[in-house]
Amino acid sequence: RTEITELYSKTAELSGKAVTVCGWVRTIRDSKALGFIDLNDGSCFKGVQIVFEANRISNFTEVTKLNVGSALVVTGELVLTPQAKQPFEIHADKIEAEGLSSPDYPLQKKRHSLEFLRTIAHLRPRTNTFSAAFRVRSAAAFAIHKFFHENGFVYVHTPLITGSDCEGAGEMFTVTTLDAENPPRKKDGTVDYSQDFFQKHTSLTVSGQLEAECMAMAFGKVYTFGPTFRAEKSYTQRHAAEFWMIEPEIAFADLQDNMKLAEAMMKYVIKYVMDTCPDDIAFFNQFIDKGLVDRLTNVVNSDFACVTYTEAIEILKKNNDKFEYKVSWGSDLQTEHEKYLTEQVFGKPVFVTDYPKEIKAFYMRLNDDGKTVAAVDLLVPGIGEIIGGSQREERIEILQQRMKEFKLNEENYWWYLDLRRYGGTKHAGYGLGFERLVMYLTGIANIRDVLPFPRTTGTAEF
Ligand code: 4AD
Ligand code: MG
C-alpha cells in the first residue's frame, strides 16, 4: 500500500509500476465504458485520479454506482500524464469498495460554508480546508517540539487537575465528584469541598506555568505543550474553552532573553511549516487569505518590533476616535487596539512590554518604577495577542506582597514560594496559544475552525 504523498514524491520511480492506494472518493463520474474517480487519503493536499475501464476491471457497473465518500482500495498502474493538469494517474486493475457511502453523504461537490461544516465536525476533516488546517496543525506541533529539543529544552508534563489558579482570573472549570445538584455545605452556606475526592476545591488547569517554574529550577530550560481550559465568557473568534498552550520556562534569564526565545521560535515554526506543507499553505493563500505567503515570508525575514505599554498607549490615545473602547494609561488592551498596533502602526509582529501591574498576573516581576511589571505580549497582524509572558518575581517578600494584593491564599502556593527559598534565580517564560498560531499560519479567522472538535460556550458536541 502506498500513500498518495509518496506517489508524488517518487513519481519517476513508480512510473509504469503497480501500486495500491487506499482512500475516500471525492468525486466520481463515468461515461459508457470509462470512468474517473478523484481519490483522497489525507496524506497530502492533493488527491489522485483513478481511471477505470469496463474492459480492465471486473466490477465496472458496481463501481459506477459508488457514492461520494466511499472508502476504496485501488490497485493499478501509475501512468505519467505530461499533457494533463495532474502529473500522473492510476489505471485501475482492481477496485474494492471497503466501505460504501450513502447517497445522503453531506459533503457533496459544492462549496460548503464554514458555519455549516462546524455542524459536522466528524466529517469536515475530509474537506480541502479542514484537511489542510489539521495537517498544518500537526506540522506546527512537531516543529515546536523540534525547535525546543534542538535548543536543549526538556519537555515536561504539568497536571491538568490543579488546586491553584495560575492566572488569578477566576476562569476555572471546577473538577468535583460532589453531587452537583445538592453538594454538602458548610455552616456559612458555601460548598464543603473537604468531602470531595481531593478534599479541597480543584479545577482544570488554566496554565502549566507554575509547575513549569518548578521544573525550570531543576532543568534550566523546559517547556510544556498541553491542553488548557478556561471558562471565559468571551464570545470571540479567538477564545476557546479548551485549547493547547506551549509554555517554555527558562532559568537565569530575563525579559530580553524571553523575547529572543519567542522570536526565534516563531520564525522557526513558520519556516518549518512553509517548507513542509507548501501545498496546504498555497491553498490557504489562494482561498482563505490572499496575503498569507507574503506576510509569513516577511515575518521570517525581518525583526519583530518592540514597544513599551506606555509608548503603545501614547500611540493609541492619538487614535482614540477610531476605537469602540477609548484607552488611557492603565487600560487593558482590547483586540481592536492590539490589531491597530500590529496592523496599522507596525505592519508586523510587535512585542509590547512593561504593563501596569494591576492588569497583569501576580507572579510577574515588579519593575523599579513600582507601577509596571516585566510582562511581554506578542501581537501579530490578523489576530492580536498570540503570546503572553513575563519575567517572574523571584524576590519572596515582593511576591508575598503581590499575592496579598491579589487576595491569593499563601497556603495554596507554599510550594511556589519554596522555589524562592531554595536556590531561586531570575527566570522568565511565556505561553503561546497553539490555536492562535495555527490561525496565523493558515489565515483562518475563527478558532472553531482550527480545533478538530472545538469547545466554546454552548458547544461541546462530538
Ligand atoms: O496570556 P495568557 O493568559 O498567559 C498565561 O497563561 C501565562 N501563564 C503563560 C506563561 O507565561 N507561561 O495565555 C497565553 C496565551 C495567550 O497569549 C493566547 O494566545 C492563548 O494563550 N490563550 C487562548 N487561546 C485560545 N482560547 C483562549 N481562551 C485563550 N486564552 C489564552
Ligand atoms: Mg494574556
pLDDT given for residue 235 in this prediction: 78
For ligand 1, mutation pick of 203, 214, 243, 244 (most atoms within 8 Å of CB): 243
C-alpha dihedral (325, 331, 334, 337), degrees to nearest 10: 80
- Quick one: average pLDDT of 215-237? 93
pLDDT given for residue 96 in this prediction: 98
Q: Whose CA is nearest to atom 21 of ligand 1?
A: 433
Specify the residue for cell string 477496485. Answer: 95
Ligand nearest to the CA of 230: 1
Ligand 1 binding pocket includes 338 (Cβ within 6 Å): no
Q: What's the CA-to-centroid distance between 276 and ligand 2, angstroms?
A: 30
Residue 160 DSSP one-character state: S
Separation CA 213–CA 211 (nearest Å)? 5
462 versus 1: which is more confidently predicted?
Answer: 1
Residue 346 DSSP one-character state: I
For ligand 1, mutation pick of 173, 203, 228, 332 (most atoms within 8 Å of CB): 228
pLDDT tens-digit readout, 335-376: 999 999 999 999 999 999 999 999 999 999 999 999 999 999
Separation CA 219–CA 273 (nearest Å)? 29
Q: Whose CA is nearest to atom 5 of ligand 1?
A: 431
234: pLDDT strictly greater than 80: no
pLDDT given for residue 166 in this prediction: 74
386: pLDDT strictly greater than 80: yes
Specify the residue for cell string 513558520. Answer: 270
388: pLDDT strictly greater than 80: yes
pLDDT tens-digit readout, 275-287: 999 999 999 999 9
Ligand 1 binding pocket includes 382 (Cβ within 6 Å): no
- Quick one: average pLDDT of 176-188? 94
Q: Provide the pLDDT confidence category of residue 412 given band limits of 50, 70 and 90.
A: confident
Ligand 1 binding pocket includes 433 (Cβ within 6 Å): yes
The question of ipTM being above 0.90 is answered as yes
Ligand 1 binding pocket includes 221 (Cβ within 6 Å): no
Ligand 1 binding pocket includes 124 (Cβ within 6 Å): no
pLDDT tens-digit readout, 120-143: 999 999 999 999 999 999 999 999
Report the range of poorest mean pLDDT among 162-171, 234-243, 419-428: 162-171
Separation CA 75–CA 73 (nearest Å)? 7
Contacts of 250 (CB under 8 A, 6+ apart): 216, 220, 221, 257, 258, 261, 427, 428, 429
Ligand 1 binding pocket includes 284 (Cβ within 6 Å): no
Exposure b/e, 314-337, CB count within 10 A at least 16 = b: ebbeeeeeeeeeebeeebebebeb
pLDDT given for residue 109 in this prediction: 76
Q: Is the dihedral of CA 30, 31, 32, 35 positive or negative?
A: negative
Ligand 1 binding pocket includes 40 (Cβ within 6 Å): no
Q: Provide the pLDDT confidence category of residue 265 given band limits of 50, 70 and 90.
A: very high
pLDDT given for residue 120 in this prediction: 95
Ligand 1 binding pocket includes 245 (Cβ within 6 Å): yes
Ligand 1 binding pocket includes 440 (Cβ within 6 Å): no
- Quick one: average pLDDT of 106-129? 93
Mean per-residue pLDDT of the chain? 95
4: pLDDT strictly greater than 90: yes
Contacts of 151 (CB under 8 A, 6+ apart): 221
- Quick one: average pLDDT of 56-82? 97
Q: Which atom of ligand 1 is nearest to the CA of 437?
A: 19
Q: Is the pTM of this model over 0.90?
A: yes
Q: Provide the pLDDT confidence category of residue 428 given band limits of 50, 70 and 90.
A: very high
Q: Provide the pLDDT confidence category of residue 402 given band limits of 50, 70 and 90.
A: very high
For ligand 1, mutation pick of 221, 243, 245, 269 (most atoms within 8 Å of CB): 245
pLDDT tens-digit readout, 292-322: 999 999 999 999 999 999 999 999 999 999 9
Task: Say how far residue 83 (Cα) sits from the centre of its chain.
Answer: 40
Ligand 1 binding pocket includes 196 (Cβ within 6 Å): no
Task: Say how far residue 242 (Cα) sits from the centre of its chain.
Answer: 11
- Quick one: average pLDDT of 236-262? 97
